[in-house]
Copies of this chain bind each other. A is one copy, B any other.
Amino acid sequence: MNRPPVSIRDVASMAGVSVGTVSNVLNRPDIVAEATRRRVLDAIRDLGFVRNESARHLRAGHSRTIGLVVLDVANPFFTDVARGVEDSANDAGLAVILCNSDDDPAKESRYLDLLEEQRVQGILITPVATTNHRLEQLRERGTPIVLLDRRATDDTQCSVAVNDVLGGELAVRHLLAQGHEHLAFVGGPFTIRQVQERQQGALQAMRAAGRDPGDLHVVETSALNVAAGRDAAARLAGAMPRPTAVFCANDLLALGVLQEMTRRGVRVPHDVAIVGYDDIDFAAAAAVPLTSVRQPRHLLGRTAAELLIEEATEDSSHQHRQVVFDPELVVRDSSDRTIGRRPRRRRPSPEGAAATPHPA
């Protein structure tokens, strides 16, 4: 069953050439004579020879892998980011080592050790804490690092993030343009940077429209899930004046608000408009398709990986960049005042994307 491993030396002796020639066939086939090359390739095939990457990399000094450290792959955000990273790495012939820090600094640190021992070409990371001695150290020792979904505070490193303030602005600007007077923001806890920035964007949009930011009815939630959304909607329903438009810090909250409003007989979007954030698959598939702010997650991952690869390949001529992507507003029925005044449009079903290619 377990045949002895076959090395370049075995190939060489079978083909009647030196190991150097075999290596040339593998790496610079053009400089080897046609006949020799064929003999070597035949031997490789017959013996089932497979290159040993460890040996290659020992010589090269670094491996053909990059590390990806995220808070949790089970989170759809990171899932899409990971896809982007992988696609990009794949194009460059690199493998991706995936690590979940679970928001735990100790676990993060262990994974960084592991990646450094693997001599990865570079590391993409959403660090648990903002300042991180281990990361500094890694960078000093020559491992390129790119921050994911975090903005670098100085220009000694690359980072890739999405502009959450703009996202909040887009949402509220849209609601104001629809003629809404009484707006609410639902989100929390405010210790989360994203929640804060999205609210900040909402306030900016108010100001820009000449409205008093104090008019924004803020409902702080204890979490970012559907249940919290339902609670928030219950609180909003009793408010005077009742807001006619609600911007939620994420889609789960928005779905909760939608459910509770519907249950209370408040019609969406006729009586109240709702805008969510993240554009998760279910936003489009909800009972009332949800307007939402979409982040270019796949692109985020892709770009981060490209920056990393560039930094790892370029010979110290690399210019660090802090890329910030703009999110995009996807308008659907939940915030569309024209609904009901004209025939219901069946948009080209976006939920096709929500299909599970694998049904399990």
Residues of A within 8 A of B (CB): 1-3, 5, 48, 50-55, 57-58, 61, 63, 65, 71-80, 82-83, 86, 95-100, 103, 113-119, 126, 137, 140-142, 149, 162, 164, 192, 194-195, 223-227, 249-250, 252, 255-256, 259, 262-263, 278, 282, 285, 287, 295, 316, 349, 351-352, 354-360
Complex copy number for this chain: 2
Contact of A2 among B53, B142, B223, B351 (CB under 8 A): B142
Kindly state the separation between the CA atoms of A72 and B80 in the bound complex, as whole angstroms.
10
**For the complex, what is the distance from the CA of A140 to the CA of B225, rounded to whole Å?**
49
Would A224 and B359 count as touching, CB distance under 8 A?
yes
Whether the pair B97, A95 counts as a contact (CB closer than 8 A) is yes
Cβ 8 A contact of A358, one of B77, B95, B162, B282: B77
Q: Given A226-B285, A282-B282, A355-B223, verify A116-B252 contact (CB < 8 Å).
A: no
- Whether the Cβ atoms of A195 and B359 lie closer than 8 Å is yes
Residues of B within 8 A of A117 (CB): 50-53
CB neighbours (8 Å) of A51 from chain B are 117
Q: Which residue of B lies closest to A116 (CB)?
A: B50
Distance (whole angstroms) from the CB of A320 to the closest CB of chain B: 12
Q: Give complex CA distance A116, B50 in Å.
A: 7
Q: Which residues of B contact A1 (CB under 8 A)?
A: 140, 142, 316
Chain B minimum-CB-distance residue to A259 = B287
Inter-chain CA distance A202–B50, complex, in Å, is 47
* Residues of B contacting A149 in the complex (Cβ-Cβ under 8 angstroms): 358, 360
On whether the beta carbons of B295 and A360 are closer than 8 Å, the reply is yes
15 CB < 8 A contacts A-B: A3-B141, A50-B116, A53-B117, A73-B86, A74-B83, A76-B76, A95-B97, A96-B98, A149-B358, A223-B352, A223-B355, A224-B355, A252-B354, A252-B355, A262-B287
Shortest CB–CB separation between residue A39 and chain B, in angstroms? 22
